[in-house]
């Protein structure tokens, strides 16, 4: 369910950098009950009511809530919630994927993903021992409060801290700081965010003699991304494809499967989305929400157009079928010049044709001591059916 949610919530990742995990845990919690799509219940709990008694209190409430969402999906807090949600989502998606992929192949993908995650953690532990500082959020800090006409303006700094190796091969800690300001107004004694701005690079401006573009305050429709993702309609399940030939099966993998996976998990996720919106929306004015929804609809129309074009291209991608030991090999042409091909092994099972192996094929260029180039083929096994979506 929430494998895709975690990825899609990257629209919140940058915004969520500023709230401390300690505050997020104190104010909010996430609970999940059940172990299947049929009995799962997800609940977001606000342990105390939102404080909107002043402009500053409203902005701080927003940052704490955003920090909680960041912790929930991107960081190590709420590990039990994430693992349980992902396990349930994987069960649901597996039913759909089993329509065109063998159980053994799905098992291999799952084992590879777990192995890669274990290797990532092992490398991270070694890097920390070597002096790396793990990425962390820099807590949000109110830097100024002033009056601008009918608004009270709250300025905030937030950011992240991370490590990079310098030229000497030693770890250095670096930081990225974001500056935002929130224009707040009170309605019936309740303060709300009416507008938000971010201090950002203006690439339409004229660069200085060193090539640096000017920094200006730009309106940031922070609710547009949330409304575009959380308030969208659930995807309808697509019609089951015909998979009675190797080519039809391979085509279904790059067209039907992604839509079917999204539809299978959307119903589960909608309840969570609604709860998240119910916490955020009261912090913003009606005008802000109206403008944000208009922007969200505009972005949604652009995304739908992009998906439509992508679907059209996938329906026309060249698929080459060759007979192979125990079945067939299907080679799906790359989406673009720098994209890999998809190589599938297709077998005939007691349930019909199924994909028994899936991999990406890349060409690697290696150079010898004299600078002569040699291209070699490299096959990278899939670690998830979701790789059909972006390759």
- Domain membership of residue 167 (yes or no) is yes
Query: Looking at 40-44, 59-63, 229-233, 332-336, which range is the least confident one?
Result: 229-233
Alpha carbon of residue 142 to chain centroid: 28
Answer with the residue of higher pLDDT: 51 or 48.
Answer: 51
Query: Looking at 54-63, 104-113, 369-378, which range is the least confident one?
Result: 369-378
Q: Are residues 211 and 145 in the same domain?
A: yes
Q: Are residues 371 and 231 in the same domain?
A: no
- Domain membership of residue 281 (yes or no) is yes
Residue 160 has pLDDT above 90, yes or no: no
Q: Which element (helix H / strand E) includes 305? A: helix 286-316
Q: Are residues 218 and 332 in the same domain?
A: no
The segment with the largest mean pLDDT, out of 124-138, 149-163, 234-248, 363-377, is: 149-163
pLDDT band with cut points at 50, 70 and 90 for residue 6: very low
Q: Are residues 159 and 268 in the same domain?
A: yes
Looking at residue 13, its pLDDT comes to 39
Domain encompassing residue 266:
1-314
Q: Are residues 118 and 226 in the same domain?
A: yes
Looking at residue 376, its pLDDT comes to 85
Q: Are residues 35 and 9 in the same domain?
A: yes
SS3 state of residue 278: helix
Q: Are residues 234 and 349 in the same domain?
A: no
> What is the distance between the terminal CA atoms of the chain, rounded to a whole angstrom?
21
Q: Where are the alpha helices (DSSP H) in 170-285?
A: 222-230, 246-254, 256-280
| Domain final residue, candidates 261, 288, 314 | 314
Burial track 73-109 (b if 16+ CB lie within 10 A, e otherwise): bbbebbeebbebbeebbbebbbebbebbbbeebbebb
Q: Are residues 35 and 146 in the same domain?
A: yes
Looking at residue 263, its pLDDT comes to 84
Residue 17 has pLDDT above 50, yes or no: no
Q: Which residues, at least 6 apart from 318, have a Cβ–Cβ distance to it below 8 Å?
A: 332, 333
- Work out the mean pLDDT of the chain and round it to a whole number: 86
pLDDT band with cut points at 50, 70 and 90 for residue 10: very low
- Domain membership of residue 302 (yes or no) is yes
Residue 11 has pLDDT above 70, yes or no: no
| Domain final residue, candidates 284, 314, 344 | 314
- Domain membership of residue 389 (yes or no) is no
- Domain membership of residue 43 (yes or no) is yes
Average pLDDT of 37-60?
Answer: 88
Looking at residue 116, its pLDDT comes to 95
Which segments of the chain are extended strands (E)?
28-33, 41-46, 136-148, 151-165, 171-187, 190-201, 215-219, 319-324, 327-332, 341-349, 352-367, 373-381
pLDDT band with cut points at 50, 70 and 90 for residue 76: low
| Domain final residue, candidates 285, 314, 343 | 314
Looking at residue 30, its pLDDT comes to 83
Q: Are residues 272 and 153 in the same domain?
A: yes
Q: Are residues 256 and 379 in the same domain?
A: no
Looking at residue 227, its pLDDT comes to 82
Q: Are residues 64 and 34 in the same domain?
A: yes
Domain count, the chain: 2
Q: Are residues 76 and 164 in the same domain?
A: yes
Looking at residue 50, its pLDDT comes to 92
- Domain membership of residue 388 (yes or no) is no
Closest CA to 225 of 155, 308, 298, 274: 298
């Amino acid at each position: 369910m929430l494998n895709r949610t975690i990825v899609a919530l990257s629209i919140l990742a940058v915004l969520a950098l500023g709230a401390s995990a300690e505050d997020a845990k104190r104010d909010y919690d996430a609970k999940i009950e059940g172990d299947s799509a049929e009995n799962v219940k997800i609940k977001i709990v606000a342990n105390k009511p939102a404080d909107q008694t002043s402009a500053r209190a409203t902005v701080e409430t927003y940052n704490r809530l955003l920090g909680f969402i960041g912790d929930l999906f991107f960081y190590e807090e709420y590990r039990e919630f994430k693992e349980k949600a992902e396990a349930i989502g994987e069960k649901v998606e597996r039913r759909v994927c089993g329509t065109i992929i063998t159980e053994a192949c799905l098992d291999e993908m799952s084992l590879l993903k777990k192995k890669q995650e274990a290797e990532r953690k092992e490398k991270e532990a070694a890097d920390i021992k070597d002096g790396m500082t793990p990425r962390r959020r820099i807590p949000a800090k109110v830097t100024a409060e002033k009056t601008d006409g009918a608004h009270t303006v709250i300025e905030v700094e937030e950011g992240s801290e991370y490590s990079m190796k310098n030229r000497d091969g030693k770890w250095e800690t670096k930081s990225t700081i974001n500056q935002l300001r929130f224009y707040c107004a009170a309605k019936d004694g309740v303060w709300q965010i009416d507008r938000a701005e971010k201090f950002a690079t203006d690439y339409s401006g004229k660069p200085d003699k060193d090539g640096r573009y000017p920094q200006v305050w730009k309106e940031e429709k922070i609710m547009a991304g949330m409304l575009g993702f959380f308030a969208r309609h659930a995807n309808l399940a697509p019609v089951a494809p015909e998979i009675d030939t190797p080519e039809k099966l391979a085509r279904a993998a790059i067209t039907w499967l992604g839509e079917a996976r999204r539809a299978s998990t959307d119903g589960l996720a909608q309840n969570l989305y609604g709860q998240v919106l119910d916490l955020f929306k009261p912090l913003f004015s009606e005008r802000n929400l109206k403008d944000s929804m208009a922007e969200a609809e505009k972005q949604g129309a652009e995304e739908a157009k992009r998906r439509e074009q992508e679907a059209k291209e996938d329906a026309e991608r060249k698929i080459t079928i060759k007979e192979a030991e125990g079945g067939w090999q299907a080679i799906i042409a790359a989406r673009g010049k720098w994209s890999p091909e998809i190589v599938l092994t297709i077998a005939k099972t007691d349930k019909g044709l199924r994909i028994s192996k899936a991999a990406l094929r890349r060409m690697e260029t290696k150079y010898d001591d004299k600078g002569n180039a040699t291209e070699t083929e490299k096959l990278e096994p899939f670690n998830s059916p979701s790789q059909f979506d972006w390759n």
